[in-house]
């Protein structure tokens, strides 16, 4: 019996020692866990540049149940999950989260995909406009900014431009060099000559076998024109669904000149149609033994334009598709916007013809010096409402922008015709110059300033390929085509039908018809060409 009692006591002693050992191990393990947790708490820091706070309203009764549905995910560069004390559910009415505290939105339905934290896509250090990244300016939020877009809360305080003396938060600016071509200015024959010896009645006359056109009779200013285009604007909300921008472009003012002089050995003449004789005729500038002189023709053209446009996001999406040149699938995103606003265009052009001539000793009235000037100038100013669509498709570092716009409005047309002749009779010595109204193609019957307003449409097509150089700078190569209906151009306002009885100085009553005459002659105009430049976004 004593032996049995001793065995039982020994068993209890061994069991007690084992229990004490297990308790000691459990205590050491708990202390180790607490130390690890304290170390994690001390080392954990928030990463604000990667994850933005997302605040949503949560019903009071759903807080505990919702918290259990939140799953934490890790992406490259994201620290270990923060301790529970750093996680809280807040409502918009709550105060802003403390430093080091992350406010997570509850997930009621759906899944949180790898690389996302409550709707936030992590793309390394890329921003919204960065190459190859998905952001507000690429995808947008389809006009739904009630909660969070790109990790930002879009509430009542969504106005982004800064109203103080500081940089607006979101905007764009572009500068481009233009190499455009325009519809040439058509001019009638203005200066002619004749080869060899010809009769005075046929010298420089249009249609005569020996007549050759020296100036006019073709299109002017249809070569490449240099210019610049500036575009800039601001986003009006943090989701980039509304924006306002402005544009200005200018083609360099071009001019073309022609000059010819002769002592009479070479024929110089200015052709016209003699309405009294009913045939082609010419006014001589230089002819053998009759007259010597010089003639100059100057033309110029200038085009500028601009406007103010509002931008409204209409559609945005992303996906995966193949290149048309290879079968490799690649991520893409696109954004379509509606544009509407104000459009302005101005086209100014002019033609002037000046001749200096002196009659020779063989002429019926030698020693008469004359300066004859004709001037035709036109101005077109378009003001209208502009509406259109633009689409940007981005794939990696490349982007393709396409846009089409249509402006509807009024063109204010103005035509100014001037002419004068200054005649000095030196046959009897030094004469006194006398100036008369009227030249050759500008007479009292058509001289004046005329204006009218005409309905016009201005469609525009834009294509642009861009390559992202940095997160904010993109280079682009583009093509633009603009059409403008109902404009006046100087060559169309020149009436070649002339009554010679109107040539100054006018002696006695003038017989009809009163020609040249003026009547608005409108035509269409276009300009197109390439552009190269850069775009900066912030």
59-63, 90-94, 223-227: least confidently modelled range: 90-94
- Give buried/exposed letters for 306-330 (b at 16+ CB in 10 A, else e): bbebbbebbebeeeeeeeeeeeeee
Does any domain span residue 99?
no
Residue 412 lies in a domain: yes
Question: pLDDT digits over 349-375, tens only?
Answer: 999 999 999 998 877 778 888 899 999
CB 294 within 8 A of CB 270: no
Q: Are 75 and 115 in contact (CB under 8 A)?
A: yes
Name the domain count of the chain: 1
The answer as to whether 79 is a domain residue is: no
Task: Please give the Cα distance from 301 to 221 (Å, whole number).
Answer: 7
Residue 310 lies in a domain: yes
Asked whether residue 384 carries a pLDDT value surpassing 70, the answer given is: yes
Q: Which residues contact 324 (CB under 8 A, 6 or more apart)?
A: none
pLDDT at 63 over 70: no
| 463 vs 390: CA distance, rounded Å | 10
Q: Is 488 helix (H, G, I), strand (E, B) or coil?
A: strand
Determine which of 80-84, 139-143, 527-531 has the lowest per-residue pLDDT on average.
Answer: 139-143
Whether 128 has a pLDDT exceeding 70, the answer reads no
State residue 271's pLDDT score: 95
Band of residue 387 on the pLDDT scale cut at 50, 70, 90 = very high
pLDDT, position 296: 96
pLDDT band at 417 (very low <50, low <70, confident <90, very high): very high
pLDDT (0 to 100) of residue 149? 36
Mean pLDDT of the chain: 77
The alpha carbon of residue 350 and the mean position of all alpha carbons in its chain are separated, in whole angstroms, by: 27
Distance (Å, whole) CA 440 – CA 447: 11
In the chain, the N- to C-terminal Cα span, in Å, equals 95
E-strand stretches of 426-499: 434-437, 448-468, 473-488, 497-498
Residue 81, pLDDT > 70, answer no
- What is the SS3 assignment for 261? strand
Task: Judge whether residue 14 has pLDDT over 50.
Answer: yes
Three-class SS state of 389: strand
HSE-up (13 A, CA, CB side) for residue 6: 3
Residue 332 has a pLDDT of 81
What span, in angstroms and rounded, lies between the C-alpha atoms of 52 and 72? 15
Model pLDDT, residue 320 = 78
Is residue 64 exposed (0-12), middle (13-18) or buried (19+ Cβ within 10 Å)?
A: exposed
* Per-residue pLDDT tens digits for 170-225: 889 999 999 999 999 999 999 999 988 889 889 999 999 999 999 999 999 988 88
pLDDT by residue (tens digit) across 23-58? 656 556 656 655 665 565 555 444 444 444 444 444
Asked if the model's pLDDT at residue 244 lies above 60, the reply is yes
Give yes or no for a contact between 114 and 75, defined as CB atoms under 8 angstroms apart: yes
Alpha carbons 369 and 502: distance in angstroms, whole number? 19
Average pLDDT over residues 269-291: 93
Which phi and psi (to 5°) does residue 436 adopt? -120, 155
* pLDDT (0 to 100) of residue 150: 37
Range of the domain at 431: 171-537
pLDDT at residue 29, rounded to an integer: 60
pLDDT tens track for 482-498: 999 999 999 999 999 99
pLDDT at 133: 38
Is 120 part of a structural domain of the chain? no
Which of 78-87, 96-105, 124-133, 165-174 has the highest average model confidence (pLDDT)? 165-174
Q: Residue 392 falls within a domain, yes or no?
A: yes
Q: Does 219 reside within a domain?
A: yes
pLDDT for res 395 = 85
Q: Decide if 145 is inside a domain.
A: no
């Amino acid at each position: 019996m004593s032996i049995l009692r001793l065995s039982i006591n020994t068993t209890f002693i061994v069991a007690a020692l084992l229990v004490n050992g297990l308790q000691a191990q459990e205590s050491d393990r708990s202390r180790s866990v607490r130390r690890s947790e304290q170390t994690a708490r001390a080392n954990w820091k928030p990463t604000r540049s990667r994850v933005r706070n997302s605040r949503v309203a949560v019903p009071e009764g759903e807080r505990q149940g919702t918290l259990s549905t939140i799953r934490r995910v890790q992406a490259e560069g994201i620290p270990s999950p923060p301790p529970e004390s750093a996680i809280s559910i807040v409502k918009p009415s709550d105060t802003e989260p403390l430093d080091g505290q992350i406010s997570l939105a509850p997930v009621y339905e759906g899944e949180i995909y790898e690389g996302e934290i409550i709707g936030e896509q992590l793309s390394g250090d890329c921003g919204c406009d960065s190459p190859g990244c998905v952001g507000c300016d690429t995808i947008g939020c389809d006009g739904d900014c009630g909660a969070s877009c790109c990790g930002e809360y879009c509430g009542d305080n969504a106005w982004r431009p800064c109203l103080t003396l500081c940089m607006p938060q979101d905007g764009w600016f572009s500068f481009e060099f233009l190499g455009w071509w325009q519809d040439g200015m058509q001019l009638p024959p203005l200066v002619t000559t004749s080869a060899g010896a010809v009769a005075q009645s046929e010298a420089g006359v249009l249609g005569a076998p020996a007549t050759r056109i020296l100036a006019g009779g073709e299109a002017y200013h249809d070569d490449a024109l240099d210019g610049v285009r500036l575009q800039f604007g601001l986003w009006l909300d943090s989701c980039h669904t509304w924006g306002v921008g402005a544009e200005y472009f200018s083609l360099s003012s071009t001019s073309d000149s022609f000059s010819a002089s002769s002592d009479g050995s070479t024929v110089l003449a200015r052709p016209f149609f003699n309405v009294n004789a009913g045939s082609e005729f010419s006014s001589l500038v230089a002819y053998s033994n009759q007259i010597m002189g010089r003639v100059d023709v100057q033309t110029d053209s200038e085009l500028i334009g601009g406007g103010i446009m509002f931008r409204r996001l209409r559609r945005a999406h992303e996906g995966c598709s193949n290149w048309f040149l290879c079968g490799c699938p690649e991520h893409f995103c696109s954004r379509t916007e509606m544009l509407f606003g104000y459009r302005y265009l101005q086209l100014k052009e002019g033609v002037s013809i000046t001749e200096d001539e002196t009659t020779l000793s063989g002429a019926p009235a030698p020693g008469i010096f004359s300066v004859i000037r004709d001037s035709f100038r036109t101005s077109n100013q378009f003001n209208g409402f502009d509406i259109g669509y633009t689409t940007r498709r981005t794939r990696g570092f490349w982007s393709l922008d396409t846009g089409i716009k249509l402006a509807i409005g009024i063109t204010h047309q103005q035509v100014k015709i001037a002419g004068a002749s200054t005649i000095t009779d030196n046959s009897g010595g030094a004469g006194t110059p006398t100036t008369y109204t009227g030249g050759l193609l500008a007479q009292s019957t058509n001289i004046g300033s005329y204006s009218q307003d005409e309905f016009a449409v201005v469609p525009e097509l834009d294509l642009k390929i861009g390559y992202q150089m940095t997160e904010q700078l993109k280079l682009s190569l583009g093509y633009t085509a603009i059409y403008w209906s109902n404009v006046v151009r100087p060559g169309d306002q020149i009436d070649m039908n002339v009554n010679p009885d109107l040539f100054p100085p006018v002696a006695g009553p003038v017989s009809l018809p009163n020609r040249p005459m003026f009547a608005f002659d409108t035509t269409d105009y276009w300009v197109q060409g390439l552009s190269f430049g850069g775009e900066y976004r912030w």
